[in-house]
A and B are shown apart, each in its own frame.
Chain A
Amino acid sequence: MKAPSASPSAPVTSPPRSRLRSLALPALLFVALAILPLAALAASAGYVLDLFTRVMIFSVAALSVDLLIGYAALVTFGQAAFVGIGAYAVGILSSHGITDALVALPVAMTAAGLFALLTGIVCLRTKGVYFIMITLAFGQMAFFTASSLAPYGGDDGLTLADRNTLAGLALFGRPLVFYYVVLAVLIASYALCRSLVASRFGRVLRGTKENALRMTTLGFRVYRFQLVAYVIAGMLSGLAGFLLANATEFVSPAYMSWQRSGELIIMVLLGGIGTLHGAIVGAAAFLLLEEWLAGFTEHWKMIFGPLLVLVVVFVRGGLIGIAAALGRAVARRFGRG
């Protein structure tokens, strides 16, 4: 295997200045998320804290989707299955009296990773539309399997007795502590994805996104790189599932439904694909929009559906793209190229 010398299509390293700028937005996001509880507590709105905990949990799952779709052109339509597997790991362990995160977290991530490995071996042999549909089908397989798990609640799901403990300490039970734990996980996941994407591994992935045949000809075993990416994304989603089970203290097959997988893709698309922080922006936009629209009418999906169609037809690059375009327009207006 030999690394390509300076490929013209993908900039290998960015100049420091633009690199600094590209980190400014994510940093701003994380700072905002970090000071949000203070504002929420001042307004004594506990539900805001819960809402944003949810936003951050789905952000972790959306990050994994962006890693696959945005950087490896693997359009996965079954990512919710991994979230569900992570959640079920917590639920099943807890129903057997094992409630410590030190056990539940590794089990959740390993189970999700293993499922990703086994299904990835088959899925990645296919391309394009076949890949979309086969990931969708495996997602449904996980969904129906969970629904038929009679000892663990079947269709109705499973209620946790309590949140996980961390080394015996009931830390997750306190909303504020749990919020910062989730924030820390989100930042760590983001940092992991960012460094993955910038690494040689990530450059190979982006190369396959541009042109898989070219990368194969250059001597890369594309399949292996994609499989590793698929497993990493699966484990990240498993991690999100672990957090989700703890946040809701409930586990259900609905976490794995294909609509959930679709929503994860929408989050990424809404925020801006292939940017990583777009996944976070998108998850926030999606969940807040859902919350807001659902406040008007129970038929909020009648508004949301057409909105989605319009976004696809007319908007390129998601919210991040719009913001960047606006920024450029303003810069031009004031004559700073």
Chain B
Amino acid sequence: MSTTLLIVQILNGLQLGVLLFLIAAGLTLVFGVMDFINLAHGVQYMLGAYLAVAFYGLTGSFFAALVLALAAALVFGLLLEVLVFRHLYGRDHLDHVIATFGIILFLNSAVKLVWGAAPLSLPVPEALSGSVALAPGLLYPVWRLVIIGSGLAVALLLYVLVSRTRIGMLVRAGATNAEMVGALGVDIRRLFSLVFGFGAMLAGFAGIMIAPILSVEPGMGDTILILAFVVIVIGGIGSIRGAFVAALLIGLVDTLGRSFSVDILRLFMASSTARTVGPALASMLIYLLMAVVLYVRPTGLFPAKGR
């Protein structure tokens, strides 16, 4: 376990954390404002990645693909809201779960039909490919740094949007009491659509940014969705600050756990046992963390006010 490896893994953990935040932010906003559980949030992330690949194929430029895919993700999110979700606000959470589960089945299958089941890939933009030496002997891929940077920038932007603008004020008010906001003359439906579209775009953005380092395949959104759930549950549903803290926490714990569990266990037990137990323990780690947090604070670290 060298220092270099530790730093690299910490950066990897940050990168996963930032990615999780991009997804969890939309999820927690949609839940906070409209009391709606959107399981289909994960497929919106997947769709972002696929759209980026498709638009890259058409334009040959990553940045054009980024802009087009973001716009398409936004449009698609709004379309889903109008077609399906709008009819389910105020219904039982169970109805949300089943309807959005149906959308997952549909989209995972549709993606397979359109692009095939084989994994696709997207090249890293030329200017940002390669690695940079952070310290002597410590090389790190530039693209991963870009992901970390853009994720932090989005977090900052969200913070400013939510706490310093009129729209943000309405979003916060909506999270506390949507009906009252409606009664005060705000077009609550438009606010809902806006929040929803924005959340979908954030998930799409995460998908686009990760596409150059992960393989783009059907079902890629499902795993990350569960992690995003763990994040918003730990952070406190409806709280963006909570989502940010929990996302980084989960990203770091998961990454470091996976890289070092065997080495750490080897200090206590035979190395063959450590090799068997380590990976199993590492994959359970974040869920155990969640269990501990929820046991102590059943509504998460930063429970949103008013619920």
Contacts and interface: CB of A to CB of B under 8 A. Distances in A.
A133 interface: yes
B262 to A, nearest CB: 12
A305 interface: yes
A81 to B, nearest CB: 11
Given A148-B280, A312-B95, 8 more contacts: A77-B97, A132-B93, A136-B226, A137-B290, A138-B291, A150-B276, A299-B113, A313-B87
Given A150-B276, A301-B109, A125 B104 contact: no
Interface stretch (A94-102, A139-147, A213-221): A139-147
B99 interface: yes
A158 to B, nearest CB: 15
Contact of A305 (B105, B113, B226, B298): B105
B229 interface: yes
B286 to A, nearest CB: 8
A272 to B, nearest CB: 13
A137 B95 contact: no
B99 A309 contact: yes
Contacts of B290: 134, 137
A41 interface: no
Q: Interface range on chain B: under 10, 10 to 19, 20 to 34, or 35 or more?
A: 35 or more
Interface in A129-173: 129-130, 132-134, 136-138, 140-141, 144-145, 147-151
Contacts, number: 129
Interface stretch (A18-26, A56-64, A259-267, A326-334): A259-267
Interface of A: 69, 75, 77, 119, 121-122, 125-130, 132-134, 136-138, 140-141, 144-145, 147-151, 258-259, 262, 265-266, 269, 299-302, 304-309, 311-313
A220 B105 CA distance: 41
Given A75-B97, A306-B102, A129 B237 contact: yes
Contacts of A307: 102
Contact of A145 (B109, B237, B283): B283
Given A140-B287, A308-B99, A313-B88, A134 B294 contact: yes
Contact of B102 (A122, A125, A148, A312): A312
B1 interface: no
A308 B87 contact: no
Nearest to A304: B105
Interface string B99-111: 1011111111110
A308 B93 contact: no
B102 A126 contact: no
The A interface, classified by DSSP as helix, strand, loop or mixed, is helix
Given A128-B93, A129-B37, A151 B276 contact: yes
B102 A132 contact: no
A312 B226 contact: no
A312 B85 CA distance: 11
Nearest to B238: A129
Nearest to A258: B226
Contacts of B109: 299-302, 305
B111 to A, nearest CB: 10
B88 A140 contact: no
Contacts of B101: 262, 265-266, 308
Contact of A312 (B31, B99, B229, B298): B99
A132 to B, nearest CB: 7
Interface string B253-285: 000000000000000000000001001101110
A137 B230 contact: yes
Nearest to B101: A262
A269 B94 CA distance: 9
B179 to A, nearest CB: 18
